[in-house]
Amino acid sequence: MSPDRDRETDRTYLLRALALAAAGAARGEGGPFGALVVRVGAAERESPGEVVGEGCNRVVACNDPTAHAEIVAIRDACRRLGRFHLEDCVLYASSEPCPMCLAAACWARVQRIVYANPRAVAAAVGFCDDDLYCELSLPPAERRVPLEHLALPGADAPLRAWFADPARVRY
């Protein structure tokens, strides 16, 4: 496809992510965020793709602080495809992913991420994604949520046992 056609495809999917955002928030499921996972094939630009996962923010509906739209969409796609990697997929998000969702997309190995609203726009209506990026860049001792290391003898035994297991599945 041509670059113009690519951009048109991106716009189409982002509009759908924005529609999911609006609908989920109108139902009171959570914040105004939506996301899609689109399978585009091994060669990224070969087709406009197929939606294999989607979701809206459901933090409030599910009492689940991890139920951000991107996480919901990634879990949906992996469930439908029956695998834990999405190398052949693109993640579309109505707003810039928070660090949790960005890291989740990396673990899922999506090809790329496209979003519509920068984090500053979400911050203007009270979402703290930008603060969270700042928080995570601080040394552990300076964060609001302290992160403490406690050394224990033999703590690495589960890691070593896993590494020694020829049947281990890497992810």
Q: Does 139 bind its own copies (CB under 8 A)?
A: no
Pick from 48, 51, 130, 136: which binds its own copies (CB under 8 A)?
Answer: 136
Q: Give Cα 80 distance to the centre of its chain.
A: 16
By beta-carbon proximity to its own copies, the closer residue of 46 and 102 is 102
Active site members: 70
Candidates 35-43, 45-53, 123-131 — which segment interacts with its own copies by CB under 8 A? 123-131
Distance CA 166, CA 159 (A): 13
CB atoms within 10 A of CB 53: 24
Closest CA to 51 of 31, 34, 26: 34
The CA distance from 3 to 162, in Å, is: 45
Give residues 98-117 in contact with its own copies (rule: CB under 8 A).
98-100, 102-117
In the set 3, 139, 146, 166, which binds its own copies (CB under 8 A)? 146
